[in-house]
Amino acid sequence: MDVELARQVSRALVWACSHNRPLALREFITMADTTLPSEMRQVALALDRSVAEPNAGAVALPAVHAPALLEAMCVAWSENYECSFSFTESHTGDLLCIVPSESPAELPCDGAQLSCSELSVAVGTPGVDPDIDMEVWAQINALAARTYVPSSDASRAGGAGAGITDTD
């Protein structure tokens, strides 16, 4: 995952955790090694296209396996670009459409529509300190640890450079 996209996903997760949407974090943890990277890429691109061409109508995505994280991403984009989105899902869950809320285009999907008014209420609402249980923290830390380089005597001695004894 591109580092900038990773930052945007992390900001979305911070929003989700502080607005009582723990499911987004669980989706992230359980799908980090499977569908999540490509799905978030597609979501980001769809949101980018909506921002770039707000009158172009709905942008379709294949079925989204991380709907809570999708909501959080929409909020992150909404905050960033001061616009808002609607999205709908078909009854079979096999198509999701992201629509800029000003767009007059007809939605190509059936199914319940999640009004972006719910999202726009969430945007700008101050969050609360999330209460994340220790098991989830451990899973997050385990994922983070995969970005760390194993240490060695050489890296410990020369990688950062400080001496090991007080010379004052």
Binding-site ranges for other proteins (CB under 8 A): 2-5, 7, 11, 41, 44-45, 48-49, 51-53, 80-83, 129, 145, 147-152, 154-156, 159-166, 168
Q: CB-wise, 121 or 167, nearer to other proteins?
A: 167
State in angstroms the smallest separation of the CB of 110 from other proteins: 26
Contact 88, 101 (CB under 8 A): no
Contact 88, 96 (CB under 8 A): yes
d(CA 54, CA 58): 9
Q: CB-wise, 112 or 144, nearer to other proteins?
A: 144
- The structure tokens 């760390």 sit at 148
State in angstroms the smallest separation of the CB of 37 from other proteins: 10
Q: CB-wise, 2 or 118, nearer to other proteins?
A: 2
State in angstroms the smallest separation of the CB of 111 from other proteins: 25
Contact 71, 84 (CB under 8 A): no
State in angstroms the smallest separation of the CB of 154 from other proteins: 7
State in angstroms the smallest separation of the CB of 33 from other proteins: 16
Q: CB-wise, 62 or 93, nearer to other proteins?
A: 62
d(CA 166, CA 45): 53
Smallest CA-to-CA distance from 102 within 82, 122, 76 is with 82
Q: CB-wise, 112 or 168, nearer to other proteins?
A: 168
CB atoms within 10 A of CB 156: 10
